[in-house]
Structure formats: structure tokens, C-alpha cells
């Protein structure tokens, strides 16, 4: 999640656990501790693919954060005067640290909660920025600064509301998953890998990606749709040139994305795109892995991340209408940039 959300979560957790000892200083400390795991963005792993794949790695691991919470508690008790007992302070710090990666695990990007074990966790039920999750936390934090005698109770109330919304996102995801599974039953895409994720800033409109052999199928489904049928758009997956061995960085990208990768050639550059993050052709994680030297030959190169495509504001009203259940604009949404099919198609029977 974004830094504002993580800071608000850390502050609310600190205020709730502090109880009668809650104060503005405690909220500030909780906000700061809650953002500590994201300091791994300062680590340079050598290339943009490794930076993406290894982000939310060691600094988000429960095996690292638990010992770190003890270390921070010892340091605080040694160098600062505190009215908290060691156990109470440790619980507060540990909770602020650990709720950060747990929340991140609900996003499409996922989290390596059990690093160094290769067991990434990604529920993908909430977008990386969702105001409906963040606003309850911000509101209660502002209110707690006004009514300080109710600070702990207000923080608890905000956490309950935001947690209920997080639980709702999982329910909504299961609803969409059932809808997609029912539609794909009996088709050539039955049993194929499916990726679901909410579109930006909501849990009503969902993006669906289904991997076929040579194509992937992308569609939108809103909880407000009158019919549960999803209109899918078929797009080529592309392929890696068979005469070129895949570099280690590309293999790590494929593992990280669970093979949800598209290959394409643009201006003699071989580009691999993460299909999970973004929407339609607004896919931000695109990397050049090789350049064409002749009609059939390719030269591998260190991966370079391409600039992210600009979001066109004029398409936002269409997304809003789609969220409200207008299924007639699915094909139009696909045409927001070049490369989309010219007609909507359904999975072949």
C-alpha cells in the first residue's frame, strides 16, 4: 500500500495498543515505525527487474521484523525514558511493524512474508491505493487529536472499519472468481490460470486476466453488472525467441508474476510486460531484455524499464460508468491505446 496508508495504519495501531497512554507522540512514533519496512526501496539490487522482484523482501519478512521489534524495544528502553513496560512497548512496536507487510499481502504486488523461504503471499483483493480503506484511519486520527481522552477508542474504531473493508474485498473477490469460473466452465479456457484484481481505488470493478496458450484474455466485471457474463478481449501473449536463453532476471520476473508476462517486439526491442499490475494497456512494468541485431538474431542486454504510459484523464468517466454496471463500453475501454483487438470475443467453447 502507499506510504500514507501505512503511516496511518501504524499510528492507529500504536494508539489502540497504547490504551490510556496514547498521545500524539505515540501516534507519530507508530506512523514512523509503520513505514520502516518500506525503507528497502533505498536498496539498489543492480537492475530494475531485481528492484521490483526483491522489493517487499527481507524488510517485510516476519523472520526479520520480529527480531527487529525486540532490538528497537531494547534501544528505546536503554536510551529513552518510557512509561511503558518492556512487554507493552515490544507489543506496540511489533504490531506497527508486522501489520505493514500483512496489509501489503492483500495487494496484487504481494509480499515475501516468509523470506528467505520462497513463499510470496499475494491475495490481490485490494488496489495499492484505496481511499475507502485509508479514510477511516485518517478520520479517526484527526478526531483523536481533538478528543485526546478518547484516542485509543477512536483508533480501535478506525481499525475495525478498515479491517471490515479489507474483509469485504476478499468477499467481493470470491464473488467475481465464482462468476468467472462459471463462465469459463466447459470452454477451452477452463482450468487455465486466472488473475483477479480490483481496478484503481475501489473493490467494485474488477480486472480479469486469463492465460491461454498463445493469447491472454482480459475482461472487466463489476459487482453492479446486471448480468454476470464477462466480455473478454483476446490479446497475443507473444513468445521469447527460442534461440536465445532466458536470462536469470527474466526467469525471476516470470516466477514473480506466476507467468503472467507478455512478450512483444517494438522498434527492434524485445519487451516483457508484467500483466498483473495496471489495466488494459496501461501496464507500468515493461522491461527491454534484448535488441535485434539481424532478421533472426538477438543481443541480450541488462534489463531497462520503459517509461510508464500516461493515463488519459478523458477515459476516467468511462471507467466510472463501467463501475456502475455499463457493460456496453467494455470494447471502448480496450481501445484506450494501440495494440488491442478491434472486437470483443468470448472464450472459445
> Quick check: pTM over 0.75?
yes
The Cα-based distances of 247 to 46, 240, 244, 274, 305 in angstroms read 14, 11, 9, 16, 15
Calpha distance 296→26 (Å, rounded): 63
**pLDDT in single tens digits along all 349 residues of the chain:** 899 999 999 999 999 999 999 999 999 999 999 999 999 989 999 899 999 988 889 999 999 999 999 999 999 888 877 788 999 999 999 999 999 999 999 998 889 999 998 888 999 999 999 999 999 999 999 999 999 999 999 999 999 999 999 999 999 999 999 999 999 999 889 999 999 999 989 999 999 999 988 899 999 999 999 888 888 888 899 988 867 788 999 999 999 999 999 999 988 899 999 999 887 668 889 999 999 888 778 889 999 999 887 766 666 787 888 888 887 776 666 554 444 443 333 544 4
Q: Which of 283, 260, 276 has its CA nearest to residue 340?
A: 283
3-state secondary structure string across the chain: CCHHHHHHHHHHHHHHHHHHHCCHHHHHHHHHHHCHHHHHHHCCCCCHHHHHHHCCCHHHCHHHHHHHHHHHHHHHHHHCCCCCCHHHHHHHHHHHHHHHHHHHCCCCCCECCCCCCCCCECCCCCCCCCHHHHHHHHHHHHHHHHCHHHHHHHHHHHHHHHHHHHHHHHHHHHHHHHHHHHHHCCCCCCCCCEEEEECCCCCCEEEEEEECCCEEEEEEEECCCCCCCCCEEEEECCCCCCCCCCCHHHHHHHHHHCCCEEEEEECCEEEEEECCCCECCECCCEEEEEEECCCCCEEEEEEEECCCCCCCHHHHHHHHHHHCCCHHHHHHHHCCCCCCCCCCECCCC
Amino acid at each position: 500500500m502507499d506510504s500514507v496508508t501505512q503511516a496511518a495504519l501504524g499510528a492507529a495501531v500504536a494508539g489502540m495498543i497504547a490504551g490510556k497512554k496514547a498521545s500524539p507522540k505515540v501516534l507519530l512514533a507508530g506512523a514512523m515505525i509503520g513505514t520502516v519496512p518500506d525503507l528497502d526501496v533505498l536498496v539498489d539490487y543492480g537492475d530494475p527487474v531485481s528492484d521490483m522482484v526483491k522489493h517487499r523482501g527481507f524488510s517485510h519478512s516476519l523472520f526479520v521484523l520480529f527480531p527487529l521489534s525486540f532490538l528497537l524495544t531494547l534501544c528505546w528502553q536503554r536510551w529513552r525514558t518510557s512509561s511503558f513496560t518492556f512487554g507493552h512497548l515490544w507489543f506496540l512496536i511489533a504490531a506497527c511493524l508486522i501489520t505493514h507487510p500483512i496489509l501489503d499481502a492483500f495487494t496484487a504486488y504481494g509480499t515475501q512474508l516468509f523470506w528467505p523461504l520462497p513463499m510470496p503471499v499475494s491475495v490481490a483483493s485490494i488496489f495499492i491505493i484505496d481511499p475507502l480503506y485509508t479514510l477511516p484511519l485518517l478520520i479517526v486520527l484527526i478526531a483523536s487529536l481533538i478528543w485526546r481522552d478518547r484516542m485509543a477508542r477512536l483508533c480501535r474504531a478506525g481499525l475495525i472499519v478498515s479491517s471490515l473493508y479489507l474483509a469485504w474485498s476478499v468477499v467481493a473477490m470470491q464473488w467475481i472468481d465464482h462468476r468467472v469460473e462459471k463462465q469459463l466452465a466447459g470452454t477451452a479456457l477452463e482450468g487455465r490460470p486466472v488473475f483477479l484484481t480490483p481496478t484503481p481505488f475501489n473493490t467494485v470493478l474488477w480486472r480479469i486476466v486469463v492465460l491461454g496458450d498463445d493469447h491472454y484474455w482480459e475482461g472487466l466485471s463489476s459487482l453492479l453488472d446486471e448480468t454476470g457474463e464477462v466480455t473478454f478481449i483476446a490479446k497475443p501473449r507473444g513468445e521469447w525467441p527460442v534461440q536465445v536463453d532466458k536470462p536469470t532476471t527474466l526467469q525471476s520476473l516470470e516466477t514473480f508474476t506466476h507467468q503472467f508476462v507478455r512478450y512483444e517486439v517494438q522498434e527492434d526491442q524485445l519487451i516483457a510486460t508484467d500483466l498483473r499490475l495496471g489495466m488494459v494497456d496501461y501496464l507500468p512494468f515493461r522491461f527491454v531484455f534484448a535488441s535485434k541485431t539481424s532478421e533472426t538474431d538477438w543481443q541480450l542486454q541488462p534489463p531497462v524499464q520503459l517509461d510508464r504510459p500516461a493515463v488519459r484523464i478523458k477515459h476516467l468517466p468511462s471507467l466510472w460508468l463501467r463501475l456502475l454496471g455499463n457493460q456496453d463500453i467494455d470494447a471502448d475501454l480496450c481501445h484506450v491505446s494501440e495494440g488491442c483487438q478491434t472486437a470483443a470475443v468470448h472464450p472459445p467453447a
